[in-house]
Amino acid sequence: HKLSCFLDDSCQQILRTLGQKSNDRKTNMIAFLLFAAQASASQQYMINLTNAAFQQPFSGIFVAVHNSEAPPLYVLGQAASEELAILAEDGNPMPLVKLYNASEGVRETFAFTEGAPYFAGETASILVDVNSRYPYVSLATMAINTNDCFLGLNGVKVFKTFGRMMDLPGLDSGTEENNELCTHIPGPACDPSGTARANETAEGVVHVHRGFIGINEGSTDLTDEELGANGEPLSSAGYTWLNPMARVVIKKM
């Protein structure tokens, strides 16, 4: 039977360029193939992630370009993956990169670390290639002056988006208790920083982070390793935030 051309401006322009009538079967086939190739061609987008949280620098960033077959980065109210827990607790994106490299539906995944850590007002600019088969982007970073706070994009459609702006809240991976002790916090608020775990008393599910409460303020029985770089317990005034923690601006190149 006769193959019909898509009735949109792109297809009709191709037909006019070829100088054929739209009911010509051969022309319609060529137009269809050209249109399909054009529609599936890769498009470049710049993703700008700006830190909007005072005294909460961000770690290196996990990035993945994928489709709906890829696993979600997280599901609110459910347990975080082990790989996400490592990013949220240590600021290390590589386990997530390895996980997505081995997953179905992933075109590209990498760790973006240029200029990290990113302090308040600083922007990480990440260039990605997306297409009709792989239209989604996920990314994640840790707020490194916390126990296990992270933020990110969870499978956001970027392909054929002219531009988009989103504000991101801080999320709690639920994999470590928020004890606010420097033995468990890898950021510059602590010197030395710590990588100890407090997993047994963690909340257990991903949820919106409650902020830095300052639960140890006034304590006199903390060890030197548990105190902040200034020799005092970490305070709410110094390290808490009000959501959003970051702004993401996506622009087509």
| 29-33, 67-71, 139-143, 144-148, range with the lowest pLDDT | 29-33
Tell which residue, 183, 206, 228, 218, has the closest CA to residue 76.
206
Share of the chain above pLDDT 90, in %: 83
Q: Which of 42, 251, 249 is nearest to 134 (CA)?
A: 42
Q: Note the helical H segments in the chain.
A: 9-18, 25-40, 82-90, 94-101, 236-239
Query: In which residue are the tokens 């890898």 written?
Result: 186
Evaluate if residue 8 carries a pLDDT over 50. Answer: no
- pLDDT number for residue 192: 87
The per-residue pLDDT for 31 is 53
Give me the mean pLDDT over the 54-81 stretch. Answer: 98
C-alpha 210/C-alpha 189 separation (Å) is: 19
Give phi and psi for 230, each to the nearest 5.
-90, 5
Mean pLDDT, to the nearest integer, of 146-173?
97
pLDDT in tens, 91-115: 999 999 999 999 999 999 999 999 9
N- to C-terminal Cα distance for the chain? 40
Q: Is the pLDDT of residue 19 over 70?
A: no
CB burial class (10 A; 0-12, 13-18, 19+) of residue 105? middle
Six-digit token string for 125: 């600019």
**77: which DSSP letter?**
T
